Chains A and B, each alone.
Chain A
Amino acid sequence: MKKRAAKKPRSRQKVLRGGRKRVLVVLFVPSVERDGTTPIDQQRWVDASLEMFGRVFGGATAYPKAKGVWRDDERGGALVMDEPVVVHCYTTPADIQDDSNLAALGTFCRKMGRDAHQGEIGLVVGDEYFAIREFGRSR
């Protein structure tokens, strides 16, 4: 008589189906406009991003400001000082690939890019960097 394989517990199966929040989404909230000098209301955008990540993906963490500098070779090597805030959000593969969630995230990035006069909004999903540059479109 054949032995039947023991059924795995339901909760375990759910975990293996990809229910765990194991995809890291990273958003960079800039401190200045694309001219490199005009400050933006960074705190407002950090709060707004946390609200959006909380509502859409269930949570997020904003880290303290980092200090950065880069040389803008397209403007005669001018040094641009920046203090971006990095926001981390862990989500599930299903949630990050959901059309309405992607639309909400994209809409937020475009609004921040447009209102804060950015050249580009940077986003990391998993192990890939995405750039949003066209802010006019609403999806």
Chain B
Amino acid sequence: MKTELDMDKIARGLGAERRGKVAAGGGYFGAMQLLADIQARFRVPSGGGRATDPSWTERRLLPLAPKTLKKLEEISAKVREHGMNVEPMQLAALLIEKTAERLSEEEAEDLVRPKRRASR
């Protein structure tokens, strides 16, 4: 029988973040399998810290407009509804990575070049 649980209510009640779906099984082997799954995917018990891409080793402060942060929060909240955990700034890092891969020098120059005012 499928168990219908309000996971958002549970997260609020616990003061926890929803991180994603796991295949939780009962008994000793289920417990060990689940532990291995969680350690591999979320790296939880001892090290702490958020699950992240190991290649993201550099950290910089990123100035943002409030509306941009709000947009990132909205998108990451929608992504989390599908069981994939991503924080707003992780989403920002992903977007920067993907955009930087595709961006040519000319396009970058266009982005930073002062916009010409419309002729009066």
Q: Which residues of A contact B (CB under 8 A)?
A: 22-24, 26, 28, 30-34, 36, 63-64, 66, 68, 70, 72-74, 80, 82, 84, 86, 88, 90, 93, 96-97, 99, 102-103, 105-106, 109-110, 118-120, 122-134, 137, 139
Contact = CB atoms under 8 A, between A and B. Distances in A.
Interface stretch (B39-47, B63-71, B99-107, B110-118): B39-47
Interface residues of B, number: 43
A109 B3 contact: no
Interface in B45-78: 45-50, 54, 57
Interface of B: 1, 3-7, 9-11, 13-24, 26, 28, 31-32, 34-36, 38-40, 42-50, 54, 57, 83
A126 B83 CA distance: 13
Contacts of A124: 22, 24, 34, 38
Q: Which of B11, B13, B36 has the most CB of A within 10 A?
A: B13
Contacts of A84: 35, 45-46
Given A73-B54, A124-B24, A130 B47 contact: no
Contacts of A70: 39-40, 43, 46-47
Given A102-B9, A129-B38, A139-B15, 13 more contacts: A23-B3, A24-B26, A33-B46, A70-B39, A70-B43, A73-B54, A88-B31, A96-B10, A97-B6, A97-B13, A106-B15, A132-B14, A133-B48
B13 A106 contact: yes
A120 B15 contact: no
A102 to B, nearest CB: 3
Nearest to B53: A73
